[in-house]
Structure 1
Amino acid sequence: MTTVGELCMPGWTFPLVKIDGVVEMKTLTEKLKTMKSRPVREDDIFLCTYPKSGTHWTWEILNMIVAGKAEYAKHWKNSAALERMTEEGMEELASPRIIQTHLLPSQMPEMLWERRCKVVYVQRNPKDCAVSYFCHMSQQVRKDNPTQQVTFTGSWDEFLSFFMDGSVPLGSIFHHTNAWKNVSSVHEGLDICYVQYEDMKQDCVAQIRRISEYLDRPHPEDIYQEIAEACSFENLKIASEKIKDQTYHNPWQEGSSGYFRKGQTGDWKNWFTVAQSEECDRKYELEMTKAAYSLVHEEFCKPNIVGQMAAKAEVFMQGGWTFPLVKIDGVVELKTVTESLKTMKSRPVREDDIFLCSYPKSGTHWTWEMLHMIVAGKAEYTKHWKNSTALERRTEEELEELASPRIIQTHLLPRQMPELLWERKCKVVYVQRNPKDCAVSYFCHMSQQVRKDNPTQQVTFTGSWDEFLSFFMDGSVPFGSIVDHVMEWENVSSLHKGFEICSVKYEDMKQDSVAQIRRMAEYLNRPLPEGKYQEIAEACSFKNLKNVCEKTKDQTYHNPWQEGSSGYFRKGQIDDWKNWFTVAQSEEFDRKYQLKMKKNPHCGCPV
């Protein structure tokens, strides 16, 4: 017995229903009630797919294989869509019929199994399916649609959530694939030809040959070549739009791509964030454990905007940056530090100075507070913010006023530091963080924070995340390339013999703050009782430090942020980059990172 339930989900402009547990367009309700009793011919060929899996492409290939020549079918595949056409309309089709459907095996006509019809099942990487399905549902408007609305008005994130939950028309792709993969165990002796979309893209001729042999319709090799050529994406798109009879075609509004969008593999990498990709993999593994089917993780992908942008400092200063930037000795800097850097190398340094060096957004405030507590021997917060000891921001006179031992913070490179630092062999703690998390935190800081004393009342960077990431990877952000920064600091001992730095990873501090505090204390020759390390770790937790910095500390050297700005403290998490980077961006980042880091295999910067 068929059970039908109305669904009300935000974003969908077409009425949806749940039929026997599967989400469907309400327009299919009546046809599905009689679907199991539909007549089937012995020579029928069924093309079964989940939506956006290459259905049009394969349907055309099947028609040419049956015809034995590379000639396009007169009508669109919609003329043979099982769940869209009436029984009478299907009866008018000449044999052998190539019937296309997105239905599940449990919804198919019973006679299909009895007559052992030929079935070709095409599957595609679920992530590419999701992207293509979203674009189809959110960008296409049919001319005969009285509302003139797209089917789905929500965002990509909302659609993806529905998709992974199976709350889209035709239900879950995981359930769909699993069900069709298990057909032979339910209907013994039924032989299905499984075709992978990605395999057709890689070697279409081989897959056409395989389908032909399955259908017992082998052809000369040149016919396979001709069919492959005729069914190339460009040729098929042109033929479908300009040659075919449009009787059964959906008339799309001008500007809509219709059924043909890109025809690529790997485009999902430009849409899925890494976190979304991992969640999809997790869901996939959970759903697909019953089927001997492995997700295709193809290595090839379309280069996206991140890999194509390589802006120079002179160009990007006019493209998103509201503060003037300059290039000093090949490193991009805020123009405000120009004068300070002119005399930096000759700055005085005390023997007991402790330098905290880091690339921006690597946990500088956090570590600076820890170092102060280690030196003080107790878990008490300093009076001022770390900005009071910022080497490149404070004047020589201001730094001279600080009591010893000074804990001086800087984002400068080793070659920009005071010469006396190396002569006096001062203690240096270098903090590094996963560059991808740095990129995200840096972007949020530059694009979301506005200081009250900023006369323009603008954020520092007004561009998009994609634009910022391109600049970041190119080193075209204040303080330059994070990879260059890490490499130079990791190589200090080779340039300054006998100079020892304490290199600390942000992720290690998040995992075991006590252990890293102990390690820094021992490096500074200031060991403390174990209980003190615990107290310092607790005092310097993200929540406690954020609260005290904003409400307790003297604000003399603090940047007064506008209300609503998170200031220096945003999330304090690791792996938040997975919610920002698309897979393509992550891969491009890894490629550039590895390319640079080959020059320094001993560098410990984590990715």
Structure 2
Amino acid sequence: MTSIKVADDGGDTVNVVEVDDLLLPPFPIEALVKLPEFKLRPDDVLVCAYPKSGTHWVWEITRQLQAGTTDLELVEKDDGMIELSLSSHFDHQPDPRTLNTHLPFDKLPFDIHNKKCKIIYLLRNPKDVSVSYFNHHRKLEEFYEYHGQWKNYLPMVFDGRLDYGSWFDYVLGWEKAVMGQTNLPILALSYEDLQEDPIKGITQIAKFLGKNYDDDLIKTVCEKCCFKQMKKDKGKLEVFNGEPIMYRKGEVGDWKNWFTVAQNDWFDHVYKTKMRDSNLKIRFTLDS
């Protein structure tokens, strides 16, 4: 494991660590090194997504559906993030545990194949992801020590110079898993679809979990887990220098306020090339 500084196109650097050819955030060393050995339980549910793809949102939805109530203690998503702590840190959590990770599919703990835990995989359009990830790295200034500009940052998301690697490699790897190249139970969701019709998405998650709830509970979970309410309830739990770090806008299409015409043309070309063999249908706006 090596701590490194990765430079953007303008020379500003991001602090990351490299573990088994994967760049990761500078989390506790022991936890990162022992990730492959993380011990899972058969009834664990693992929420998986590339960073800034709505993991907090779906993790909280899943947590409430598992409990059958919205009346839960407010806790940070980090409490269920497997790359942040040793598996022993999670031993006190009662069954069924709702865990989360940003790991690529091929980097999940080995135990996932033995225990065959249910996986909820969330996919978000890369333009909005890149904008949110930029703000994330800038907000966590003392953690990543990144001071760069948007124009120099953008290429890093797609050529693998950031923690968790290239968005393209990540989603293509997960596409293979979702398309049946594994015997694991996986529910794949679109961030954009969930934004457009959250009741439908939450109902899908409940059904996947084997829950048969009435419409009232589904609606209550929807209201409790909407972006505005979560920012109000949980934003104060995750702050840095007095500012919320995990709840910015949660919108679909905010990338239009950031991408120049030239950047958008560049990205569309890269996207077409990288995704030419993919069957994924990515929505960059709710109109598409």
TM over 0.5, shorter chain: yes
Is 1:321 the equivalent of 2:13? yes
Q: How far 1:315 sits from its partner (Å)?
A: 5.3
In 2, Cα distance between the equivalents of 1:328 and 1:459? Answer: 17
Could you say if the C-alpha distance between residues 319 and 458 of structure 1 is closer, same or farther in structure 2, counting changes exceeding 3 Å?
A: farther
**Match for residue 404 of structure 1 among 74, 92, 95:** 95
**Match for residue 425 of structure 1 among 110, 116, 130:** 116
**Match for residue 241 of structure 2 among 557, 562, 566:** 562
* Contact 1:373 1:536 survives alignment (8 Å): yes
For residues 154-206 of structure 1, what are the alpha-carbon distances to aligned partners after superposition, in whole Å with 9 as ceiling and x for unaligned? xxxxxxxxxxxxxxxxxxxxxxxxxxxxxxxxxxxxxxxxxxxxxxxxxxxxx
For residues 408-446 of structure 1, what are the alpha-carbon distances to aligned partners after superposition, in whole Å with 9 as ceiling and x for unaligned? 110001111111212222100011111000000110111
Residue 262 of structure 1 corresponds to: none
For residues 368-417 of structure 1, what are the alpha-carbon distances to aligned partners after superposition, in whole Å with 9 as ceiling and x for unaligned? 11001111112224431111111000122111121111111100011111
Could you say if the C-alpha distance between residues 435 and 493 of structure 1 is closer, same or farther in structure 2, counting changes exceeding 3 Å?
A: closer
In 1, Cα distance between the equivalents of 2:218 and 2:179? Answer: 32
**Match for residue 581 of structure 1 among 259, 262, 265:** 259
Residue 546 of structure 1 corresponds to: 231
In 2, Cα distance between the equivalents of 1:365 and 1:481? Answer: 21
Residue 343 of structure 1 corresponds to: 34
* Contact 1:372 1:382 survives alignment (8 Å): no
In 2, Cα distance between the equivalents of 1:572 and 1:336? Answer: 25
Query: What percent identity do the matched residue pairs reach?
Result: 31
Q: How far 1:506 sits from its partner (Å)?
A: 0.9
**Which amino acid in structure 2 is aligned with residue 486 of structure 1?**
V
Residue 595 of structure 1 corresponds to: 273
**Which amino acid in structure 1 is aligned with residue 279 of structure 2?**
H
In 1, Cα distance between the equivalents of 2:32 and 2:282? Answer: 26
Q: Secondary structure at the match of 1:336?
A: coil
Is 1:571 the equivalent of 2:256? no
Tell me the TM-score normalized by structure 1.
0.44
- Unmatched 5+ stretches in structure 2: none
* Contact 2:139 2:240 survives alignment (8 Å): no
Q: How far 1:496 sits from its partner (Å)?
A: 4.9
* Contact 2:5 2:13 survives alignment (8 Å): no
Is 1:511 the equivalent of 2:190? no
For residues 485-525 of structure 1, what are the alpha-carbon distances to aligned partners after superposition, in whole Å with 9 as ceiling and x for unaligned? 11111211567543231111111111111100000110111
**Which amino acid in structure 2 is aligned with residue 570 of structure 1?**
R
* Contact 1:435 1:606 survives alignment (8 Å): no
Q: CA RMSD in A?
A: 2.2
Could you say if the C-alpha distance between residues 327 and 604 of structure 1 is closer, same or farther in structure 2, counting changes exceeding 3 Å?
A: farther
Is 1:477 the equivalent of 2:155? no
Could you say if the C-alpha distance between residues 342 and 363 of structure 1 is closer, same or farther in structure 2, counting changes exceeding 3 Å?
A: same
Could you say if the C-alpha distance between residues 337 and 470 of structure 1 is closer, same or farther in structure 2, counting changes exceeding 3 Å?
A: farther
Q: How far 1:595 sits from its partner (Å)?
A: 1.4
For residues 302-325 of structure 1, what are the alpha-carbon distances to aligned partners after superposition, in whole Å with 9 as ceiling and x for unaligned? xxxxxxxxxxx87518932353x2
**Match for residue 415 of structure 1 among 99, 106, 109:** 106
In 2, Cα distance between the equivalents of 1:606 and 1:382? Answer: 34
For residues 536-579 of structure 1, what are the alpha-carbon distances to aligned partners after superposition, in whole Å with 9 as ceiling and x for unaligned? 1111111111111135xxx5xx4x4112x231110111100001
Is 1:364 the equivalent of 2:55? yes
In 1, Cα distance between the equivalents of 2:94 and 2:56? Answer: 19
For residues 40-92 of structure 1, what are the alpha-carbon distances to aligned partners after superposition, in whole Å with 9 as ceiling and x for unaligned? xxxxxxxxxxxxxxxxxxxxxxxxxxxxxxxxxxxxxxxxxxxxxxxxxxxxx
Q: Secondary structure at the match of 2:240?
A: coil
Could you say if the C-alpha distance between residues 511 and 429 of structure 1 is closer, same or farther in structure 2, counting changes exceeding 3 Å?
A: same
* Contact 1:322 1:458 survives alignment (8 Å): no
* Contact 2:48 2:121 survives alignment (8 Å): yes
Structure that is richer in strand per residue: 2
Number of positions where the alignment pairs a residue of Structure 1 with one of Structure 2? 280
Residue 213 of structure 1 corresponds to: none
In 1, Cα distance between the equivalents of 2:183 and 2:6? Answer: 42
* Contact 2:14 2:162 survives alignment (8 Å): no
* Contact 1:356 1:409 survives alignment (8 Å): yes
* Contact 1:434 1:605 survives alignment (8 Å): yes
Residue 135 of structure 2 corresponds to: 444
Could you say if the C-alpha distance between residues 598 and 577 of structure 1 is closer, same or farther in structure 2, counting changes exceeding 3 Å?
A: same
Could you say if the C-alpha distance between residues 501 and 511 of structure 1 is closer, same or farther in structure 2, counting changes exceeding 3 Å?
A: same
Could you say if the C-alpha distance between residues 315 and 392 of structure 1 is closer, same or farther in structure 2, counting changes exceeding 3 Å?
A: closer
Residue 222 of structure 2 corresponds to: 537
**Match for residue 210 of structure 2 among 525, 528, 531:** 525
Residue 20 of structure 1 corresponds to: none
Residue 244 of structure 1 corresponds to: none
Residue 207 of structure 1 corresponds to: none
Residue 385 of structure 1 corresponds to: 76
**Which amino acid in structure 2 is aligned with residue 561 of structure 1?**
F
* Contact 2:178 2:188 survives alignment (8 Å): no
For residues 336-378 of structure 1, what are the alpha-carbon distances to aligned partners after superposition, in whole Å with 9 as ceiling and x for unaligned? 3553232222221100000000111111111111001111112
* Contact 1:449 1:566 survives alignment (8 Å): no
* Contact 1:369 1:381 survives alignment (8 Å): no
- Unmatched 5+ stretches in structure 1: 1-312, 451-456
Tell me the TM-score normalized by structure 2.
0.89
**Which amino acid in structure 1 is aligned with residue 269 of structure 2?**
R
Q: Secondary structure at the match of 1:491?
A: helix
In 1, Cα distance between the equivalents of 2:182 and 2:104? Answer: 18
**Which amino acid in structure 2 is aligned with residue 360 of structure 1?**
P
Q: Secondary structure at the match of 1:525?
A: coil
In 1, Cα distance between the equivalents of 2:68 and 2:87? Answer: 28
* Contact 1:354 1:427 survives alignment (8 Å): yes
* Contact 2:6 2:161 survives alignment (8 Å): no
Q: How does 1:30-41 map to 2 (within 5 A)?
A: none
In 2, Cα distance between the equivalents of 1:499 and 1:315? Answer: 34
Residue 88 of structure 1 corresponds to: none
Q: Secondary structure at the match of 1:326?
A: strand
Q: How does 1:106-185 map to 2 (within 5 A)?
A: none
